[in-house]
Amino acid sequence: MQINDFIEEVKKLGIYISEDELKQLEIYYNELIEYNSHTNLTSIIKKEDVYLKHFYDSLTLCKAVDLSKVNNMIDIGTGAGFPGIVIKIFYPHLKLTLLDSNNKKTKFLEIITNKLSLQDVTIINDRAENYAKNNQDKFDLCVSRAVAFIDIIISLSLPFIKKEGQVVLMKGSIINEKRILDNHLNDLNINKYQIISFNLPITNDERNLLVIEKKDSNKLYEYNQILKRSKKWNSQ
């Protein structure tokens, strides 16, 4: 995806890009590639691929949520900052928490947030089940992109959001995972969900945004689900 194509496709999402935002993305790309040369952050390194599969893909979150109305957001398993940092560039009012258990990745997040002079960004090097102990019912929006199997990431995500908040999982194909979701709605503490399906421009890769509303705010129940699912994840 060339820069002009990126600009045009992002406009179709209802986002108009300023020169400052383009400069920030350029800095982001350069820092990503430099850090990736000695520490593995991503296998996607060609500029046109980064702009499509990381930058544009992150911004498709706006298909599911009116981000202008979100006050605070947590990005679980953010890695190199996708989608969190990209969203923060275009929605600077957001208070953003970036959560990842990989210390080398959170070091990069510290570097890039400083380079971009981003404010109200909290970087946490921890596992979701640990961070959730003292941070339940705190966020308007919890997102994760291509993190874990669906029952695990739902259990890790739901405790973080307020009763009226949302979880959005950004995934590729979810045919098999959807069967699990439908069979375990009550067990996962889900009130309802919506799937927004689309394809990336140029490559036509499948994408699905799973938008979830939780049933209640039973902290003990939700935390027990975290422990149950995280044990399953860690054993795989």
Q: What is the pLDDT of residue 98?
A: 98
pLDDT of residue 227: 59
Centre a 10 Å sphere on the Cβ of residue 51 and count the other Cβ atoms it contains: 23
CB 192 within 8 A of CB 225: no
Q: Stretch 201-230: mean pLDDT, rounded?
A: 76
Q: DSSP 3-state assignment of 228?
A: helix
Q: What is the DSSP string of 88-156?
A: HHH-TT-EEEEEES-HHHHHHHHHHHHHTT--SEEEEES-HHHHGGG-TT-EEEEEEES-S-HHHHHHH
Amino acid occupying residue 90: F
Q: What percent of the chain has pLDDT over 70?
A: 90
Residue 38 has pLDDT above 70, yes or no: yes
pLDDT higher than 90, residue 210:
yes
Q: How confident is the model at residue 225 (pLDDT cuts 50, 70, 90)?
A: low
Positive or negative: CA dihedral 167, 168, 170, 172? positive
CA 149/CA 201 separation, integer angstroms: 25
CATH number where 88 lies: 3.40.50.150
Q: Which residue has the higher pLDDT, 72 or 156?
A: 72
Taking the C-alpha atoms of residue 84 and residue 74, their distance in angstroms, rounded to an integer, is: 8
103 vs 180, residue with greater confidence: 103
> Where would I find the H helices in the chain?
3-12, 19-36, 47-50, 57-59, 84-90, 103-115, 128-131, 150-157, 175-183, 219-235
Number of domains in the chain: 1
- Residues 77-103: tens digit of each pLDDT: 999 999 999 999 999 999 999 999 999
Picking from 42, 110, 57, the residue whose alpha carbon sits closest to that of residue 87 is 57
How sure is the predictor about 236, in pLDDT bands with cuts at 50, 70 and 90?
very low
pLDDT at position 234 is 53
Considering only CA atoms, which of 197, 173, 203, 198 is closest in space to residue 52? 203
- The residue that leads in pLDDT, 235 or 199, is 199
Q: What would the pLDDT profile of 125-176 be if each residue is shown by its tens digit?
A: 999 989 998 999 999 999 999 777 788 888 889 889 998 889 999 998 888 7
Over residues 188-207, the pLDDT tens digits come to 778 788 999 999 999 999 99
The pLDDT assigned to 217 comes to 64
> 215: domain range?
3-235
Neighbour order of strands in the sheet with 161-171: 121-125, 95-100, 72-76, 139-145, 161-171, 206-214, 190-199
**pLDDT of 96-126, one tens digit each?**
999 999 999 999 999 999 999 999 999 999 9
Question: Mean per-residue pLDDT for 215-222?
Answer: 62
In the predicted model, what is the mean pLDDT of the chain?
A: 90
